[in-house]
Amino acid sequence: MISGLERVRADVVATGRIGERELDIICRQLYPEGKLGREEVEFLASIRGDAQSVIPAFEELFAEAVKLNVLEGGRISSDGASWLRRLFLLSARIDVNTRRLLGELQREAKHVCPEFQSLYDECT
């Protein structure tokens, strides 16, 4: 990981918060091309799990990045569902934002696999 991102992780662990400053650093270092891959989303999930407080703009970034990485042609595959399950383990919580994200995925997908439906049912 880039040292600036490790500083963000250290700040989040120390303060328990993802604020504007942390989001700005994340966007500059992870998001310069406008797309986050699965590795970057996993980093976001891990620091999200370290935070007790997260600004809405971070949650929006996280949700959009997850959607871009899991909705493939309007479908959620078993691979995508397995990745989501691991991702939510990294963030260490199923909270209102996670439930909202799962609901958005459920509504936006034209088809979901049984594995996603099971995850959705467990978490909502």
Q: Residue 17 forms beta bridges with which residues?
A: 53
**Tokens of residue 88, six digits:** 């939510």
Neighbouring residues of 60: CB distance < 8 A, sequence distance ≥ 6: none
Task: Please report, in tens digits, the pLDDT of each residue of the chain (124 residues total).
Answer: 446 788 888 989 999 999 999 999 888 888 766 678 899 899 999 999 899 999 999 999 999 999 999 999 999 999 999 999 999 887 767 899 999 999 999 999 999 999 999 999 999 8
Q: Exposed/middle/buried for 104, CB within 10 Å: 0-12, 13-18, 19+?
A: middle
> How is the chain split into domains, by residue range?
3-123
Task: Report the C-alpha dihedral over residues 85, 15, 65, 61, rounded to 10 degrees.
Answer: 140
